[in-house]
Structure 1
Amino acid sequence: MASCQNWKPVILIMGVYFLMAVMNILFKKVLDEGMNQLVITTYRLTAAAVFLGPIAYFCERRSGNKLTTPILCQLFFSALIGATITQSLFLIGMKYTSAVFSTAFANLVPVTTFLLALLLRQESVNLRSRGGMVEVLGSLICIGGVVLLILYRGIPLNKATHSGKSSYNAKDQGVEVVDNSPQRWILGSTFLLISIVCWSGWFLIQARIGKRYPCKYSSTAFMSFFGAIQSAILCFAVKRDITIWIVRGKLEILTVLFAGIFGSGLCYVGMSWCVQQRGPVFTSAFSPLVQIFIISLDLAFFHEQIYLGSVIGSMLVICGLYVLLWGKAKGEADDTTKPTLVENPNGSSAVGAA
């Protein structure tokens, strides 16, 4: 019975990351068919707000935490960074590249969050300890993997069953697109990298908000609501064509509902439960499964072209991620077992465990 309880978080987090893999593949398909990324973000966040709103009301209405004006302002800014900007840039980068490639950048989130926390002095590293040295090594490996992903595409490892050309309209994005494929790849990598940095910054912002307003369902529902409004305003400012808001076909409807209900709703609840049960390191350690699931689904059903540079760079990023997580766990374990001086009644000092 105890073994079944231990396996529950493992099975749940694998299911969560499988749903996220399916969501990313659906995003890539509707983007290739010409759906605007800001429209996707708006509809996704709207579906998430509608889905999480009733859950937040029934689960957290008696929590006793007051939603003040400063907290609402922080949630609005959090939505701008973590929802509107991050998701829009990530989808643009995915459209320029591929679902497999963009997911490799998503594995960088723990690393970039760690580096941002160092720059903002929210976290420190003891370079004299083994754990601190391993954390730095893991970060360097991940950075090397990203450089390889951006600069080296390599030969295709499989034969695609389609031309690989999307029905992308550059005017929908408000940016000029070059026809040269390597330049397009680098441009997409730039969008992905900026989105990941914004996403990491959102984690630091959300950590501060969580201390003042720990209601995770309510804060996510408000963030989704604010993000939907921001994305809609930004979309109308960039593209004033009302026809882009028309959802055409079952695939676009399925993608929007799936992303809102599962991607921003149930997946968030599942990840939050896993963090409570086994901690953030356990939850982060399974994140490379998203890329593995995407590669498997792409090869089995969609036959997307996979390049050597993406495989090698992804392996480096994943290895660096695990090295960083191991070093972080090692550092936390060393801190808990660090000897401290304990004052005896006779005035002498003795060494004890913290």
Structure 2
Amino acid sequence: MVISNIAMGSVNALVKKALDVGVNHMVVGAYRMAISALILAPFAYILDRKTRPKLTFRLFIDHFFSGLLGASLMQFFFLLGLSYTSATVSCAVASMMPAVTFALALIFRTESVKNLKTKGGMLKVLGTLICISGALFLSFYKGPQISNIHSHREAIHHNNNDGDKTKNWLLGCLYLFIGTTLLSLWMLFQGTLSIKYPCKYSSTCLMSVFAGFQCALLSLYKGIDVNDWVIDDKFVIIVVVYAGVVGQAMSTVATTWGVKKLGAVFASTFSPIGLISATLFDFLILHTPLYLGSVIGSVVAVMGLYVFLWGKKNEKEASTALPPRMDKEASTNCPNV
């Protein structure tokens, strides 16, 4: 999960640069999914051959919705938000995923509401609120540009020409939040799907195939233009290939495996690592200037994450001490047992 989120941070930073060229973001998504499917197909055939269960119509439908939640619709909103903001901001909003996933887990009752009265439960709620506060601060306060000694004139020139998108900062943050919510829903859905279909390579490959077609259909929202599908910029081609192999194929397989081992809520708590990765990659390699609001909001969001993890740790320690007492109560109340 650590490696996966480091990779995703670098992918977001590179894709942001590619989107600034003016590429249709869903065309990037469609190519990304197609590359992911091609890369994973041989792994799925060889490594999952003996353990792969029979594909039923229900499993096809499940993978269709998996692609819709975790890839096509998620990318539609997330990449659109990324085009209006920056890689650092996108990963900062994505760092809210533990809080969003936890809230959704309560709604769908995969997390117990009774646990909220315990110390661990209260810390998890507090961490969730801090995460949301950090993201809201980041959204509503852009702040002054922090001095960047590595900035190139080209980056400053590009920033000045991007005034229209800067005005849409709030809209971009809203799109990013919708994308993050969809990804949280996917992680919860994946927790169930990984039990029914435990082959991570085959599952991710199927998801990528469905998502590729879905992204192609979503690309039509700007109208039908064949030229959108012709990418002749070498940098954009490299980014699309890197995003497909590392950002989609490898990262999704790792995340699917992480959800299966750790659960959706705990696996999502690694997302702020992507924020740190994107910030460093953006600042040190792509020479993109930082803004004060992004830094403060990111720090608050990460603080919220670790309060959430502290609550998770307390909850786990309490649960390890609970079974003996439960067994004792059960034997007292039910003598026949």
Asked whether the two chains share a fold, i.e. TM above 0.5, the reply is yes
Instruction: Kindly tell me the number of residue pairs found equivalent between the two proteins.
Output: 326
2:182 pairs, out of 195, 198, 205, with: 198
Residue 337 of structure 1 pairs with residue 326 of structure 2: no
From 204, 209, 233, the equivalent of 1:225 is 209
> What's the secondary structure of 2:146's corresponding residue?
coil
Structure 2 counterpart of 1:89, one-letter code? F
Q: In structure 1, which of residues 63, 78, 92 is the aligned counterpart of residue 51 of structure 2?
A: 63
Aligned 8 A contact 1:34 1:167 in 2: no
2:97–2:271 CA contact under 8 A, matched in 1? no
Farther off after superposition, 204-213 or 283-292: 283-292
Contact persistence 1:42–1:229 (CA under 8 A): yes
* Structure 2 residue 124 is the aligned partner of structure 1 residue 135: yes
Aligned equivalents of 2:108 and 2:256: distance in 1?
25
User: Quick one: which of 119, 132, 152 aligns to 2:107?
Assistant: 119
Return the alpha-carbon distance in structure 2 between the equivalents of residues 44 and 325 of structure 1. Answer: 33
AA matched with 2:38 = V
| Gapped regions of structure 2 (runs ≥ 5) | none
Q: Offset of 1:204 from its aligned partner?
A: 1.6
Q: Flag the 1:201–1:17 CA change in 2: closer, same or farther, 3 A.
A: closer
1:85 alignment counterpart: 73
Q: 1:62 to 1:187 in 2, by over 3 A?
A: same
Cα contact 1:157–1:308 (8 A) shared by 2: yes
Q: 1:284 and 1:205, CA in 2 relative to 1: closer, same or farther beyond 3 A? A: closer
Query: CA RMSD for the aligned pairs?
Result: 2.6
Residue of structure 2 in register with 1:179 after alignment: 164
Please, which of 147, 164, 168 is the counterpart of residue 158 of structure 1?
A: 147
Q: 1:142-167: CA deviations, max 9, x gaps?
A: 11111101111111112443224498
Residues 281 and 329, structure 1, Cα contact 8 Å, conserved in 2 = no
- 1:289 Cα deviation (Å)? 2.6
Give a deviation string over 1:253-301, Cα, whole Å, max 9, x none: 1111111111122234445566778887875554323222222232223
Q: Which amino acid aligns with 1:239?
A: G
Q: Does 1:324 align with 2:313?
A: no
Residues 277 and 121 (structure 1 numbering): CA distance in 2 closer, same or farther, change over 3 Å? Answer: closer
2: CA distance, partners of 1:297 / 1:49: 27
Letter of the 2:238 counterpart: L
Unaligned runs of 5+ in 1: 1-12, 169-177, 350-354
| Residues 1:167 and 1:26: Cα distance change in structure 2 (over 3 Å) | farther
TM-score by length of 1: 0.84
Identity value in percent: 39
C-alpha contact (below 8 Å) 1:149/1:310 kept by paired residues = yes
Give 1:319 deviation, angstroms.
0.9
1-structure distance, mates of 2:259, 2:195: 16
More helix by share: 2
Q: 1:277 to 1:71 in 2, by over 3 A?
A: closer
TM-score by length of 2: 0.88
**Alpha-carbon spacing, 1:165–1:129, altered in 2? closer, same or farther (3 Å):** same
Report 1:1-354 matches (<5 A). 14-125=2-113, 126-159=115-148, 160-161=151-152, 162=155, 163-165=157-159, 179=164, 181=166, 183-271=167-255, 284-338=268-322, 339-342=325-328
Shift of 1:24: 1.3
1:225 Cα offset (Å): 0.2
Residues 193 and 115 of structure 1, relative CA distance in 2, 3 Å threshold: same
Q: For the residues of structure 1 that align with 2:267 and 2:209, how far apart are their CA atoms?
A: 26
